[in-house]
Amino acid sequence: MTVEIIGVGVFRQIMGKSKIPLEIASVDRNTVTVHIVLEKLDTLYDGQFAKELYLEDGTPNLWTRIMLNGRDIRFLGEDKLFVQDGDAILISSVMAGG
Amino acid sequence: MFQGGWFGKLLRINLTDQTSREEEIPEELLKKYLGGAALGSKILYDELAPGIDPLGEENKLLYTTGPLTGTDVPCASRLNIATKSPLTGTVTNSLSGGHFPVELKWTGYDIIVIEGRAKKPVYVVIKEGRVSFKSAEKLWGLNTVDTQVLIKENLKDLNVRISCIGPAGENQSMIAAIINEVRAAGRKGVGAVMGSKNLKAVVVRGTQKVPITDEKRFKAGVRGVLEGLKASPMAYPVFSKVGSVSAAEPVSAVGCFPSNNWQNDKEVDWVEKIGAAGLAESAQSNNSCYRCPVSCSQVRMAKKGKYAGISTEGPEFETVYSLGSNVGVTDSAAVIAADRLCDELGLDTISAGVCISMAMELVQRGLLTDEDGLDLRFGNDNAVMRMLRDLAYRQGQMGSLFADGTKRAVKILGENTAMYAMQVKGLELPAYDVRGFKAHGLNFATSYTGADHNKGYANQEVFGMPVPYPVERLELKGKGILTKFNQDFCGLFDTVTFCEFPASFMLDSFQKLVAQLISGATGLDFTEQEMWDVGERLNNLCRMFNVREGFSRKDDTLPERLMTEPLKNGLSKGEKISREDLDFMLDEYYEARQWDSNGIPTPEKLTALGLEDTIKDLPQKA
């Protein structure tokens, strides 16, 4: 299946563009979660994703935001974190302005 | 008794008879309202009769500073302009930074109250303890840049700081700004009020040092601010580098960067075109307000094409929207040129852009004939530049229709055009499609000055800031409480005149730091809770000002488009804030504020905030 990855801030810089399609092999409908996609991205970009997503002690960086189809995954139940073909995942580092 | 921070003096200038007098500001008022937005609003509440014409002689124009202005505190060179807005009919506070605010404070006055109306154009000079009135007849008609050059020449003093209006203010366009050097107190038509008084400029030169009472405590507070900024992941790593336009990326990424008058009917990579990336090649240098280590301001110059050589301090994020995406312009050089033109004409870039985008959509839909031949198509930057001039000079068909904003344009054109007027309480919407940011939308609906992002910025939704806690931007529940938090937070920085950006970067510690700073400056003891009370008092006082003018729940609304048309593209596709959604959030918000279901503060709440004087103005119940 193909998932659209949208990078904001540092993640856009790492990806070199704002959006990329990511091919992921899936066995059946509910096998790939957002976390698996993040791991795949981290591998693809030589560990640069994890460096931004987690603090040195391994806890999640609260200033980064991950959305699945526009919904912040912190507010989605575990059963809502499965990724389907055509889904969009946004990964944003801390931003400012306005 | 206080011994520092404030001078405790107000300068009252009467333009009608060209007199001025100095007044003591009672200490009780200073302690309770501190300065800036709150003290300005209090003076307006007490001195303006309900129902006055904002462009009449009876309206007043206040320049207010705070107890930190002109001190060594970083990021506190801010000026507040308080008046009754001609655009919204509400009380308003419009702020700007730069170097003018500290110079004003150094004249020895915390506040300047400008009253009456000069018979002929004048400018006022406050220098070396003297106030003088000078003829501005030869300046009338000049843009804001030439005005400042000529005043400095006339006074033979290059060190004065100048706050002035351009042609838009002179012509009393209700979307006119006041330009303080190169910074704009842009919104809500404060420039029109200045123009209505035949006042071209206020010129200041100060020499008085702001006294600090407890240096040790004060310096600890200053260190706290510097450390807070250093620790913030938002300040130096992000904001210093590209300034406010960095917001275009997260806002655009979730499909909430408005385009083509909020039709959002095309998917465009606005960041690449006119956002931080699109503007990168135009970058010249950073600029900063007085004693600001963040230095967010970006000086940019168009490098090629027909606008090559035009430079501006900006454009800020809001302008990239209003004179870029929202009018369909994808050329960053055109946005730079339009930003510069607005500064020269003295126009609010947000309202001006939204007026133009409304005109474009009306032409697109066949609801308006372009009699001036401007060729008002989305994306036509030539039309944008021409219509900006028309707005400032009230000339031509579009100038006469839109110079007073979109709400008044609907009154002329008919209710069938209301759908395309993107405004709340008459104030044109800033750069956030709030169909995808619910608390931000609730703030637009309830802010005391209309759709003003700065009066209750939802950092939690826009940037994912996890303070006071992370929130889901699309959720309705909890947004009433969050909006009260954000509005009261913003109320404090508008009052002590601290810049919104660094204040927001220290969202978890700002109130405590301010309490420490003003305690050190004034020698009085302030607590963190009292700082929250100041913000809440401001929002209740301003609400009561508006209640006295007839405002209530019916006015806490959003444009019809946002309530009925779902977003068409991107990660917020399908989102809107329906009437029912808004009612749900309003109920929660009023409850959090302890207001009644019609949005009227209760006597108990007013008493708790020390606003007993306003209870007499509550609507009489049948």
Judged by CB atoms closer than 8 Å, whether chains meet at B246 and A69 is answered as no
Q: Which pLDDT band holds residue B542 (cuts at 50, 70, 90)?
A: very high
Judged by CB atoms closer than 8 Å, whether chains meet at B472 and A98 is answered as no
The whole-number average pLDDT for the span B507-529 is: 97
Looking at the structure of chain B, the number of domains it has is 3
A26 vs B: CB within 8 A:
no
B107 occurs within a structural domain:
yes
Residue B9 near residue B108 (C-beta atoms within 8 A): yes
User: Looking at the partner chain, which of B253, B269, B474 has a beta carbon nearest the beta carbon of A8?
Assistant: B253
Residue B369: predicted pLDDT: 97
CA distances from A38 to A2, A82, B196 (A): 14, 12, 59
Instruction: Give B211's DSSP letter.
Output: P
B124 occurs within a structural domain:
yes
B350 and B287 assigned to the same domain: yes
Q: Tell me: the pLDDT tens digits for B546-602?
A: 999 999 999 999 999 999 999 999 999 999 999 999 999 999 999 999 999 999 999
B428, B445, B468 — which closes off a domain?
B428
Residue B342 near residue B388 (C-beta atoms within 8 A): yes
Q: Tell me: the pLDDT tens digits for B415-431?
A: 999 999 999 999 999 99
B474 and B611 assigned to the same domain: yes
A-chain residue closest to B317, CA distance: A98
B391 and B450 assigned to the same domain: no
B622 occurs within a structural domain:
no
Q: Tell me: the pLDDT tens digits for B355-371?
A: 999 999 999 999 999 99
Cα B331 to Cα B115: distance, rounded to the nearest angstrom: 43
Q: Go through A3-21 and write b for each residue having 16 or more CB atoms within 10 A of its CB, e for each that does not.
A: bebbbbbbbbebbeebeee
Cα B253 to Cα A18: distance, rounded to the nearest angstrom: 9
Average pLDDT, chain B: 97
Q: Mention every residue, 6+ apart, whose C-beta is less than 8 A from residue B189.
A: B54, B85, B86, B87, B88, B173, B174, B175, B176, B348, B405
B381, B400, B428 — which closes off a domain?
B428
B478 and B413 assigned to the same domain: no
Q: For tokens 């600029």, name the residue.
A: B287
Domain of B550, CATH number, reads 1.10.599.10
A77 vs B: CB within 8 A:
no
B-chain residue closest to A72, CA distance: B472
B418 and B462 assigned to the same domain: no
Average pLDDT, chain A: 93
Contacts of B453 in chain A (CB under 8 A): 98
Judged by CB atoms closer than 8 Å, whether chains meet at B475 and A75 is answered as yes
Q: Tell me: the pLDDT tens digits for B476-510?
A: 999 999 999 999 999 999 999 999 999 999 999 99
B477 vs A: CB within 8 A:
no
B412, B428, B444 — which closes off a domain?
B428
The whole-number average pLDDT for the span A62-72 is: 95
Cα B336 to Cα B311: distance, rounded to the nearest angstrom: 7
B350 vs A: CB within 8 A:
no
Residue B129: predicted pLDDT: 87
B369 and B439 assigned to the same domain: no
B529 and B446 assigned to the same domain: yes
Residue B360: predicted pLDDT: 98
Report the percentage of chain B scoring pLDDT > 70: 100
Domain of B264, CATH number, reads 1.10.569.10
For B184, the token pair is 């704009």
Residue B128: predicted pLDDT: 85
B520 occurs within a structural domain:
yes
B416 and B440 assigned to the same domain: no
Cα B2 to Cα B212: distance, rounded to the nearest angstrom: 10
The whole-number average pLDDT for the span B14-27 is: 98
B291: alpha, beta or left? (left if phi > 0; alpha if psi -120 to 50): left
B37 and B173 assigned to the same domain: yes
Residue A57: predicted pLDDT: 87
B73 and B145 assigned to the same domain: yes
A15 vs B: CB within 8 A:
no
A39 vs B: CB within 8 A:
no
Find, among B462, B488, B466, B470, the residue nearest to B541 by Cα: B488
User: Looking at the partner chain, which of B242, B317, B466 has a beta carbon nearest the beta carbon of A62?
Assistant: B466
B423 occurs within a structural domain:
yes
Reply yes or no on whether the pLDDT at B622 is more than 90. no
The whole-number average pLDDT for the span B169-182 is: 98
User: Which of 439-458 (B) contact A at CB < 8 A?
Assistant: 453, 457
Question: Whole domain around residue B449: which residue ranges?
Answer: 434-617
DSSP string for B520-532: HHHSS---HHHHH
The pTM of the full predicted model, rounded to 2 decimals, is: 0.97
The whole-number average pLDDT for the span B282-311 is: 96
Reply yes or no on whether the pLDDT at B2 is more than 70. yes
Q: Tell me: the pLDDT tens digits for B198-247?
A: 999 999 999 999 999 999 999 999 999 999 999 999 999 999 998 999 99
B-chain residue closest to A75, CA distance: B472
Residue B123: predicted pLDDT: 98
B212 occurs within a structural domain:
no
Domain of B167, CATH number, reads 3.60.9.10
Cα B493 to Cα B510: distance, rounded to the nearest angstrom: 9
B375 and B443 assigned to the same domain: no
B218 occurs within a structural domain:
no
B175 occurs within a structural domain:
yes
B445 and B468 assigned to the same domain: yes
Reply yes or no on whether the pLDDT at A64 is more than 70. yes
